[in-house]
Amino acid sequence: MLVTVGNTYATYELIDDIIYITYRKNVILNLQAAEIVIKDQFSLHSGLKRGILCDIRHVKAIDKAARVYMAREGSILVSALALIVDSPVSIMMSEFYLKTSNSAVPTASFKSTEEALLFLNKYKVL
């Protein structure tokens, strides 16, 4: 099953029960943006828990309100979260988030989609 949606901040694909979120280039995430991102993400959940593969390689910045919202409100219905990183900025962004957000959702960052999928599949809700 392939479902795709998108907004100003990201594009989404639902493939094999995993939601792929790819942020657009130079996106700056504040609370307002985070709400839109999460709302569109949840529209693909169909009320079910799902794994999220989130490509943050091109995100420019995310503020505290957005970080908190994503870690709290954004964590319901998420079985696990894999962040795709590569540049120094995206690596530090994910490390900062992992260190400060204390999200209850298993979260880790990866440099390849394959590794990320291996991680997400461990938490797949059957």
Partner 1 sequence: MEEKNLERIHVINEMLLELAVGNFYYRIERSSNNDEVEALIMTLNMFAEEMQNANIHQRILNSSKIPLDIAQMSFVLNQTSLIQMVNANASGILSYSNDTFIGKPFTSFLENESALKWDTVIKQFYEKNLFETSTQLKFKTKEGLSIPKTVYISLFQNLKGTENWLLLTVIHHSSYKEQLDLNLKGKINNKAINFPNSKKNNLKQKVKLSYEDIRKIRTGYDRIVNNVEMEFPSLREFALELGTNEFKLKYGFKALYGITVHRFLIQERLRKAQMLIQYSDDSIKSIAYAVGFKSMPHFSRVFKKMFNYTPSDLRNYHNIKDNKL
Nearest to 9 by CA among 64, 70, 80: 70
Determine, following the binding rule CB under 8 A, whether residue 87 of this chain makes contact with partner 1: yes
Among the listed ranges 14-22, 38-46, 114-122, the one in contact with partner 1 (CB under 8 A) is: 38-46
Spatial separation of the C-alpha atoms in residues 16 and 85, rounded to whole Å:
22
Determine, following the binding rule CB under 8 A, whether residue 98 of this chain makes contact with partner 1: no
- Looking at the Cβ atoms of 48 and 118, the one nearer to partner 1 is 48
Determine, following the binding rule CB under 8 A, whether residue 76 of this chain makes contact with partner 1: yes
* C-alpha dihedral sign at 100, 101, 104, 105: negative
Determine, following the binding rule CB under 8 A, whether residue 124 of this chain makes contact with partner 1: no
Chain centroid, CA 97 distance in Å: 12
Is residue 87 classed as helix, strand or coil in its secondary structure?
Answer: coil
Determine, following the binding rule CB under 8 A, whether residue 46 of this chain makes contact with partner 1: yes
Determine, following the binding rule CB under 8 A, whether residue 32 of this chain makes contact with partner 1: no
Residue 83: strand pairing partners: 54, 109
Binding site for partner 1 (CB under 8 A): 26, 42, 45-48, 60-61, 63-64, 72-73, 76-77, 87-93, 96, 100, 102-104
